[in-house]
Amino acid sequence: MDILNAQLILPDEIRRGSLSIRDGRIHRVTHTAGRAKKSAGALDLRGGFLAPGFVDLHIHGALGHDMMEATTEAFRTITDFHLRGGTTSLTLTTLTAPHADILRVLAALKPLHNQSLGGSRIVGVHVEGPYISPLRVGAQNPQYVRPPSQPAEWRELLRYGKLVTQMTLAPEEKGAMALIRALRRNGSIASGGHTDANHEQLIPAMRAGLNHATHTFNQMSTITKRGPYRWAGMIEFSLAHDEILCELIADGKHVPPIIMKMLFNAKGRDGVCLITDATKGAGLKPGTEFELFGMRARSTAHTAELVDGSGLAGSTLTMMRAVQTAVQQGGQTLVDAVRMASYNPARQLGRDGEFGSITAGKRADLVWFDDQFRVRGVWLDGELRHQS
Ligand SMILES: [Zn+2]
């Protein structure tokens, strides 16, 4: 089929054009001065934006469901919801939990690896915790936080191979260096997060392969003073090194606009990936209360908060809204915001040859939206899976 008269969001520019899809792949991208003539079976976007489908590396849930439920119903609800937000590939993210619960999730997702249940394609699992810092737990359950000092335990997770695309860990914890090396050997992203590390601990971690920062600025160490001297934390270390790709929860709440701008300036268009970190509060009506890891939480118009007011309770973002926020509050061009939501995370997964940009030969994973950032259509492997 053909998609006509779109403003195509290409890696470096927005250009008016059309594209044809064959066998689920982008067959040809054409640029025409005038309007392309309507042909049979073609869809005319009438100047609407067409971007590569978004790739979300950090997502827990939606519509009252968390992926830790490990049921097909939960996976389907979550991936359906996020497809409608423009996400065509995602890595479902586990929580700090008993080892057996994480293994159960991996076992449930193994047959669904690289599959779609109708919604976004499940390209992997991001294991967030339990190997994090007890000092930077955030909304994770402190009861199950522990150091990665038992290789036999985390080897059981890595036995799932390519399904484990990412792990968030605290590099300062005992055993972390061996874990980082094992992750990179497995082809997984080794991500510093929920960490209290200082730069002296992070230098060897980066040498071992640390290449990512989990929800940068949230639950992460920063500058401390030792006697007369200042030490960098994970925040400054990530901002200073091109080797580290920084996740950003781009809702304008987890990280306020001024700090978002600081991140964009420090890292440039290739150094950031937008994530939702969406929890089960995503998609619920503002004011709805829900249970999150044993705590009461409430969705608000722009995020979710713990009812006791002590903190945020994950985001309620969609990737479309993350792109909108990066543009409207973070001062990014639409081309760069889309790149951070598609190409950069695809590259970090090592799958940019397959998806992440509008390029002939790649999977026809596409999102069509209007100038109000409303999703109008989403294609997965060239199939129109959602239209509004
Ligand atoms: Zn987290």
Span 228-266, pLDDT tens digits:
999 999 999 999 999 999 999 999 999 999 999 999 999
Q: pLDDT at residue 372 above 80?
A: yes
Cα of 338 vs centre of ligand 1, distance in Å, is: 23
pLDDT (0 to 100) of residue 32? 75
Task: Average the pLDDT over 89-117 and give the result.
Answer: 97
Cα of 163 vs centre of ligand 1, distance in Å, is: 20
Least confident of 13-17, 67-71, 303-307, 375-379: 303-307
Cα of 60 vs centre of ligand 1, distance in Å, is: 10
pLDDT (0 to 100) of residue 376? 98
pLDDT (0 to 100) of residue 37? 73
Q: pLDDT at residue 355 above 80?
A: yes
pLDDT (0 to 100) of residue 138? 86
Cα of 247 vs centre of ligand 1, distance in Å, is: 11
Task: Average the pLDDT over 9-23 and give the result.
Answer: 96
For each of the domains in the chain, give its residue range(s) and CATH number, in order of start: 2-49+377-387 (2.30.40.10), 53-356 (3.20.20.140)
Reply yes or no on whether 44 is catalytic: no
pLDDT (0 to 100) of residue 312? 85
Active-site annotation holder among 66, 196, 277, 336: 277
Cα of 194 vs centre of ligand 1, distance in Å, is: 6
Q: pLDDT at residue 64 above 90?
A: yes
Task: Average the pLDDT over 103-123 and give the result.
Answer: 98
Q: pLDDT at residue 35 above 80?
A: no
Cα of 68 vs centre of ligand 1, distance in Å, is: 14
- Four-CA torsion 205, 350, 263, 284, nearest 10 degrees: -110
Cα of 81 vs centre of ligand 1, distance in Å, is: 20
Q: What's the pLDDT band for 3 if we cut at 50, 70, 90?
A: very high
Share of the chain above pLDDT 70, in %: 100
